[in-house]
Amino acid sequence: MYEPPPMYSEGQPTEETKRAHQHASADDSPAGNAAAAADVEAVENLAVIRETLYSALADVMVETPSILAMLARGREWTSKAFFASTCLAILSVALTRVDADGVRTVHLGRGSPTVIGLHQTPAYLRPFLGRLVEVSQAVRALAEADDARALQEAFEGIEELTPPKLDRLKERLTLGVGAEETVDSSSQSTDAEVSGLANAINTLALGMTSLPAFRERQAQAFQVLMSVTAL
């Protein structure tokens, strides 16, 4: 059964913010102050990226009835449903909010950054963000290829269009590891491109949920998840 991880009370600092402010107090020189300010900004930007990803969770729930069906099977399915939702949220953000410049974030108030790139994030998060950009480029290319193929098949008068690979990717992310063994034969032909993207997004989700800054918000995200299912 899913156990929400411990988190700070509302308004208390995160461990990352504590470390950044400790760094600021340890060195009062101009260079030290500038470095500390950059550290604090990077941590704040991490929080914005986190909220951008978690903001997609509710939309994922509304658009994916199969996840609601998982939750209806009992609390023992909550962890699986939460992870699947996280994977689909990453896919949504990759398709709509990520480009070569970084992440176009949700608006969190005055002064909130609109685009966050690699150099505006903590050093330990840069591999994650870089991989997210790579995944974004790949899934956008996949969607564009789906559209081009659909147009070509429509032009040729083909009545039964080829199922979009993007739909198969969403199915894989929803059902999880071993999905190709449980879906019908038409979906068993999922190619290496879809499998590779599903694995990459699963890896991103695992890495994201292991970061302290993300884990501390999982309890609240869990509550959102359960609230949506209660509607």
pLDDT-flagged residues of the chain (< 70): 1-43, 107-113, 177-190, 219, 221-222, 224-231
Q: How many whole angstroms separate alpha carbon 45 and alpha carbon 230? A: 32
- Which residues face 98 on adjacent strands? 103
89 within 8 A of 53, measured Cβ to Cβ: yes
Q: How many whole angstroms separate alpha carbon 74 and alpha carbon 220? A: 20
Q: Is the dihedral of CA 154, 159, 163, 167 positive or negative?
A: positive
pLDDT tens sequence across 24-78: 444 455 444 444 444 555 667 777 788 888 788 778 877 888 888 888 888 788 8
Q: Is the dihedral of CA 200, 201, 204, 205 positive or negative?
A: negative
Percent of all residues in the chain with a pLDDT value above 90, rounded to a whole number:
29
Amino acid at 22: Q
Give this prediction's pTM: 0.74
DSSP single-letter state for residue 226: H
Q: How close are the terminal C-alpha atoms of the chain, in Å?
A: 22
| Distance set, CA 110 to CA 70, 107, 221 (Å) | 38, 8, 24
Say how far residue 227 (Cα) sits from the centre of its chain.
20
pLDDT tens sequence across 184-195: 444 445 588 999
